[in-house]
């Protein structure tokens, strides 16, 4: 909604939800100016005048994972017609239309990020960050959320996993500045020269796939063995696809803005072939924010996934 406020977003050249060029500054200004207790809970029980602030912190995600079974969660923003991004064929890239994004949605993204001890991103994001096409979401920046982490026994910043088949991406200096543990995840057929390049730089390589690609189950097993309990997937549809397909996702947070955006070429939540029961989600909460984006509205939804179908082999691996 706030994209339309003159003097604040009027000259904004790009505004993707997770990857805004200057998300923290915009969010702080807009949040302070406009955020109200205007959420309505529609499920499981009707309730009005709920504040965005603290809504997802209250989920206490950092306590939901165990050393045997980490809590793996993701968060996406979609239009009503299922688009999470549009393709820009002239630039050979994709982007999230500005009018889909809101300060309240970004606030919730940050609350989820603040509760993680490990983030999963990917090589494409590192390239975009380096080229200045996207903003930096590798660290928690909000002072209150940093304090919240400290008070809740989490390290100042989460570890970061960079999933990549090509291994062809630049490192970002902020990861060193914030002393974050960084892992590079790839498949066993990854280019040996690129693998050696990253090893020489001192970064642990997680080989978690039989081909060049990272596979969800192997990755999460590896992160479990490394002791991570709250794993936040901030990657795109390919990584979401593998963690859902391989029954690794514990929870999906989904914002649906009540906008039809059309566009012939677009991205949607998943990339792979048809799913079976692993694609079944259970609605836990549904919040409605009226008139945001302005002239429309949005749902904030939380779905849990049944992971009881994890393979016996995987359970064994975790237990040893
Ligand atoms: N609306 C939303 O909530 C939302 C959320 C996320 C993304 N998006 C948007 O959706 C569009 C597409 O997303 P995206 O580019 O982030 O994601 P993507 O197309 O799913 O992934 C892109 C890159 O991730 C790496 N990768 C993904 N899965 C991998 C796997 N299993 N194994 C190894 N590497 C893997 C690859 O890096 P290498 O090339 O280095 O091998 C690949 O090039 C973008 O415009 C993005 O901004 C929207």
- Is the pLDDT reported for residue 28 higher than 60? no
User: How many Å lie between the centroid of ligand 1 and the Cα of residue 202?
Assistant: 25
Quick: pLDDT tens for 151-173: 999 999 999 999 999 999 999 99
- % of the chain exceeding 70 in pLDDT: 84
List the domains of the chain with CATH numbers.
11-319 (3.40.430.10)
Q: φ, ψ for residue 185 (rounded to 5)? A: -105, 135
What pairing do the DSSP bridges indicate for beta strands 85-88 and 93-95? antiparallel
For 49-74, what is the mean pLDDT? 97
Quick: pLDDT tens for 240-273: 999 999 999 999 999 999 999 999 999 999 999 9
Whether the Cβ atoms of residue 219 and residue 185 lie closer than 8 Å to each other: yes
The kind and range of the H/E element at 305 are strand 297-305
Looking from the CA of residue 165, the nearest atom of ligand 1 is 41
The residue to which tokens 């603040």 are assigned = 114
Which of 3-7, 74-78, 105-109, 220-224 has the least mean pLDDT?
3-7
User: How many Å lie between the centroid of ligand 1 and the Cα of residue 43?
Assistant: 31
For ligand 1, say whether the CB of 113 is within 6 Å of any of its atoms: no
Give the pTM.
Answer: 0.89
CA angle 40, 42, 47 (to 5 degrees): 50
Quick: pLDDT tens for 42-56: 999 999 999 999 999
| Best residue among 138, 164, 190, 209 to mutate for probing ligand 1, ranked by most atoms within 8 Å of CB | 164
**Other CB atoms within 10 A of residue 93 CB:** 12
The residue to which tokens 């309730």 are assigned = 47
> Distance (Å, rounded) from C-alpha 60 to C-alpha 144?
16
Burial of 310 (0-12, 13-18, 19+ CB in 10 A): middle
User: How many Å lie between the centroid of ligand 1 and the Cα of residue 239?
Assistant: 7
Q: What is the pLDDT of residue 102?
A: 96
């Amino acid at each position: 909604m706030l994209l339309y406020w003159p003097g604040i977003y009027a000259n904004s050249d790009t505004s993707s939800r997770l990857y805004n060029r200057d998300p923290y500054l915009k969010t702080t200004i807009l949040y302070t100016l406009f955020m109200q207790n205007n959420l309505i809970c529609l499920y499981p029980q009707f309730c009005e005048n709920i504040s965005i602030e603290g809504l997802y912190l209250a989920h206490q995600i950092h306590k939901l994972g165990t050393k045997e079974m980490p809590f793996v969660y993701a968060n996406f923003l979609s239009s009503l017609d299922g688009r999470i991004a549009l393709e820009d064929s002239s630039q050979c890239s994709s982007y999230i239309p500005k009018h889909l994004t809101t300060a309240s949605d970004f606030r919730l993204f940050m609350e989820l990020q603040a509760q993680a001890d490990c983030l999963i991103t990917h090589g494409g994001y590192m390239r975009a960050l380096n080229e200045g096409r996207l903003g930096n979401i590798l660290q928690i920046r909000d002072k209150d959320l940093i304090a919240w982490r400290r008070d809740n026994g989490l390290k100042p910043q989460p570890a970061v996993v960079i999933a990549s088949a090509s291994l062809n991406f630049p490192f970002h200096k902020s990861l060193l500045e914030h002393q974050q543990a960084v892992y590079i995840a790839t498949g066993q057929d990854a280019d040996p020269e690129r693998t050696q390049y990253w090893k020489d730089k001192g970064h642990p390589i997680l080989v978690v796939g039989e081909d060049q690609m990272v596979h969800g189950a192997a990755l999460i097993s590896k992160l479990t063995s490394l002791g991570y309990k709250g794993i936040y997937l901030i990657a795109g549809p390919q990584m979401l696809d593998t963690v859902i397909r391989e029954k690794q996702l514990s929870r999906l947070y989904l914002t649906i803005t009540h906008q039809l955006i059309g566009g012939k070429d677009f991205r949607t939540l998943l990339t792979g072939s048809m799913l079976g029961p692993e694609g079944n989600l259970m609605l836990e909460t549904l919040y409605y924010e009226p008139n945001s984006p302005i002239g429309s509205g949005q749902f904030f939804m939380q779905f849990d996934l049944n992971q009881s179908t994890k393979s016996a082999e995987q359970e064994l691996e975790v237990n040893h």
